[in-house]
Amino acid sequence: MGMTMTQKILAAHAGLDHVEAGQLIEADLDLVLGNDITSPVAIHEMDKMTVKTVFDKDKIALVMDHFIPNKDIKSAEHCKCVREFACRHDITNYFDVGEMGIEHALLPEKGLTVAGDVIIGADSHTCTYGALGAFSTGVGSTDMAAGMATGKAWFKVPSAIKFNIVGKPKKWVSGKDVILHIIGMIGVDGALYKSMEFVGEGIKNLSMDDRFTIANMAIEAGGKNGIFPVDELTEAYMKEHSRRPYKVYEADEDAVYDAEYTIDLGALEPTIAFPHLPENTKTISEITEDVVVDQSVIGSCTNGRIDDLRTAAAILKGRKVRKGVRCIVIPATQAVYLQAMEEGLLKIFIEAGAVVSTPTCGPCLGGYMGILAAGERCISTTNRNFVGRMGHVDSEVYLASPAVAAASAVTGKISAPEELGL
């Protein structure tokens, strides 16, 4: 029986010629990631271990991004704990204020993740690096601790769902619409324990930033990982950002999939996930009543990259955020921030009446920088719209692309860019 892309990567890292779905393996890790919320718990667990040193100081990434710059004293204590740990173990890839960005945008940009890697991260959106043809998955803090100490992690080899991507997306349809459409189709546990493998000729019509967005939200369908094949665009991205060697794995022709779907990019419309699950999707044309919004958030590990900001700026240019709407734009990394500045995007945002923040996960998880009051609604390019996700339990989050979030900021209700004549 042939293997999927994911299975091949896992087999190679377990020193095995062949693995099958359901098999328990121990795999070597290329990178172990943690952030300011999950790392303190991992450090505490590592303190209980007999192994007192990290397996490889170059293969651990600690990114302070969730409540950073410190939102309160407790957050400051957490970061201090991680900072001291990084210093004690001479961790090469420790990113603090000034260097940090939102982890899943930052690591590929820094060249720390490449095709063929096995990566675990104590953050559920670690699945993002599948866009580069890596196996990457979210774990908890104890797994992170074990990974930092041993350089290994146990996995149950996943089966896979194949998504055959065809066609070319229409204007204003992006990676976010693709993944929201898929989650709406298969549900929030539609890929539970499984790989989501994206293949097909349509992939060439998706930018790297689109692919990062799609892989990023595999977890919102319950997936263990999302993964793309490596093409010229991927190779160009890796060569630009990384000096690490990469390895390309392709699925065998006789690989077995639990299910196969065809996604025609040309048939997709801007798609919005209504409260309180990412699977509650509607296309923009299915929304028949006005959904008035109080806030629009453009950013996060899902949609805070330069493509996303360019799209939002194209819509906000020469327009004004509607009175009564708070529009919060958060470049995902310092490099994205700088690029946006050089391209004049920040000026467009500020002139439109949006605020531009330093990189942070803040509002996405209801941490800070845009918390909602009871009864308030936010259109957001983030990844979750659970009850209370962005603030009060009686607030609402609607997930959408940067194009829809920007257009909605202007109209004050959930809108497609076409409503602005674009």
Partner 1 sequence: MQAKGRVFKYGDNVDTDVIIPARYLNSSDPAELATHCMEDIDKDFVHKVHKGDIIVADKNFGCGSSREHAPIAIKAAGVSCVIAETFARIFYRNAINIGLPIIECAEASRGIDGGDELDAAFHSGMIYNRTKGTEFKGQAFPEFMQKIIQAGGLVNYINSQN
Is 258 near partner 1 (CB under 8 A)? Answer: no
Question: Out of 6, 38, 334, 395, which residue is the one contacting partner 1 (CB under 8 A)?
Answer: 38
Q: What are the strands of the beta sheet with 259-264, ordered from one edge?
A: 225-227, 195-199, 160-166, 259-264
The answer to whether the beta carbons of residues 226 and 186 sit under 8 Å apart is: no
Binding mask 135-174 for partner 1 (x = CB under 8 A): ---xxxxxx-xx--xx---x-x------------------
Is 374 near partner 1 (CB under 8 A)? Answer: no
- The CB-of-231 to partner 1 minimum distance in angstroms stands at 29
d(CA 233, CA 237): 6
Query: Across the strands, what pairs with 413?
Result: 292
Is 224 near partner 1 (CB under 8 A)? Answer: yes
Question: Out of 367, 370, 402, 417, which residue is the one contacting partner 1 (CB under 8 A)?
Answer: 367
Question: Out of 17, 171, 393, 421, which residue is the one contacting partner 1 (CB under 8 A)?
Answer: 393
Identity of the amino acid at 9: I
Question: Out of 359, 366, 370, 402, which residue is the one contacting partner 1 (CB under 8 A)?
Answer: 366
Binding mask 73-102 for partner 1 (x = CB under 8 A): -xx--x------------------------
Please state whether 62 falls in left (phi above 0), alpha (psi between -120 and 50) or beta: beta
**C-alpha distances in angstroms, 250 versus 28, 199, 217, 254, 295?**
20, 10, 22, 11, 43
Which residue, 1 or 192, is less far from partner 1 as judged by CB?
A: 192
Identity of the amino acid at 398: Y
Interacting span for partner 1 (CB under 8 A) from 44-52, 226-234, 238-246, 317-325: 44-52
Is 50 near partner 1 (CB under 8 A)? Answer: yes
**C-alpha distances in angstroms, 306 versus 67, 348, 358?**
22, 14, 14
Identity of the amino acid at 241: H
Residues 6 or more apart in contact with residue 288 via CB below 8 angstroms: none
Is 37 near partner 1 (CB under 8 A)? Answer: yes
Question: Out of 8, 66, 282, 377, which residue is the one contacting partner 1 (CB under 8 A)?
Answer: 66
Question: Out of 48, 171, 243, 323, which residue is the one contacting partner 1 (CB under 8 A)?
Answer: 48
Q: What are the strands of the beta sheet with 118-121, ordered from one edge?
A: 93-95, 60-63, 31-35, 118-121, 135-138
Is 104 near partner 1 (CB under 8 A)? Answer: no
Is 247 near partner 1 (CB under 8 A)? Answer: no
Q: What are phi and psi of 116, to 5 degrees?
A: 90, -10
Is 71 near partner 1 (CB under 8 A)? Answer: yes
Q: Binding residues for partner 1, per CB under 8 A?
A: 24, 37-38, 40-41, 44-45, 48-51, 66-67, 71-72, 74-75, 78, 121-124, 126, 138-143, 145-146, 149-150, 154, 156, 188-189, 192-193, 219, 222, 224, 277, 365-367, 384, 386-389, 393
